[in-house]
Amino acid sequence: MNRLRRWLGWALAAALATYFVWFASRNLDTRTLAMLGSAKVLAAVVAAALLYATIIPVTAWAWVRLLARQDENWRAGQLAVMLGRIQLAKYIPGNVAQHALRATLALQAGMGGRALTVTVVQETVLAIAASVLVGVAALAISAPGLEQLPESSRRWLFSAGIALAVLVLVLSLFDLPPDRLRASRFRLARALAGFGGLPGASTVVPALAAYALNYLVIGVGLWLVARAAGAPTALDLPVATAVFALAWLLGFLAPGAPAGLGMREGIMTLLLAGVVPASDALAFVLLARVVTLVGDALIYLTSMGAILASGPGPRKEA
């Protein structure tokens, strides 16, 4: 049974890799490939892809802390391999394949179903909060400022920011682990234990900082690409960071779009309108997609290489 499961896992891995190559070939045009013919641009893309790939160990580090509050002991390296294995699944239309595969791998490795559900929900809330925080803050200190956003978008982000701030505060202000709540004589407290309790500031703040760091590091990489491609100086580090963080948010929320394809590019183009000429905006958006494609491929190959070197996959620590 274990051998069959292993063979099925490798068959799925091969299918994902094949689909990803097909997806990339269909979505890279001649103009993008021509830009990659420049050694300077190509080097910047590789550097940005390597920076992008750091999101996996950083996210795994944050996940370790969220899981610890659910009495689950894991190493960051174990979770990084697990997250890397599902990285190409996000290119499958529907925006559900990577979540389903993550749940399957986690449960097979011995993670509790409740802990998985609770921490993925917490991670989603904190990652979205970090994207709004970084995106709005970066855009605010950029030369165009928040006025670059349409008024309706500013109102939407303000409302979303308030709601997310409330959620983050609730998660932070109360340190209520589930084991303590289960022993309570109050029914409401015992019910809250079933939802994983509340992690407290000592868990929430580092995790939120980790997710914010992801956007900042990716922003640095994209800014390097913009400089290498000769984009106008108006496309500076704050703009590059804000454009990606806010576009990631809307791409994440877009139903059905594989890896946010189309939605993220459209949002990035709109955010860059008036900042740089349309031709420079298009070049930057296309190169940003190349960076994520190369970064996702690096993440996947690294994870599969780690499995080949160490064994069939991560298991829960004793």
Alpha carbons 80 and 75: distance in angstroms, whole number: 9
- pLDDT of residue 265 exceeding 80, the answer is no
Q: How confident is the model at residue 223 (pLDDT cuts 50, 70, 90)?
A: very high
Instruction: Report which of residues 159 and 134 the model is more confident about.
Output: 134
CA distances from 106 to 82, 94, 205, 206 (A): 7, 21, 24, 23
Angle of helix 201-228 relative to helix 39-53, nearest 10 degrees? 170
Instruction: Report which of residues 266 and 100 the model is more confident about.
Output: 100
Instruction: Report which of residues 37 and 223 the model is more confident about.
Output: 223
CA distances from 20 to 26, 86, 276, 291 (A): 10, 12, 31, 14
Highest mean pLDDT among 74-78, 171-175, 231-235: 74-78
Residue 54 in domain: yes
Predicted confidence at residue 185, as pLDDT, reads 66
Q: Which of 104-113, 236-245, 250-259, 307-316 has the lowest mean pLDDT?
A: 250-259
Residue 316 in domain: no
Residue 80 in domain: yes
Predicted confidence at residue 23, as pLDDT, reads 47
Q: Return the percentage of the chain with pLDDT > 70, whole number.
A: 70
Residue 129 in domain: yes
State the residue range of the domain holding 167: 2-310
Predicted confidence at residue 67, as pLDDT, reads 94
Instruction: Report which of residues 237 and 257 the model is more confident about.
Output: 237
Residue 118 in domain: yes
Q: How confident is the model at residue 145 (pLDDT cuts 50, 70, 90)?
A: confident
Q: What average pLDDT does the segment 113-140 reach?
A: 90
Residue 315 in domain: no
Q: What's the number of domains the chain is made of? A: 1
- State pLDDT tens for residues 39-65: 888 999 999 999 999 999 999 999 999
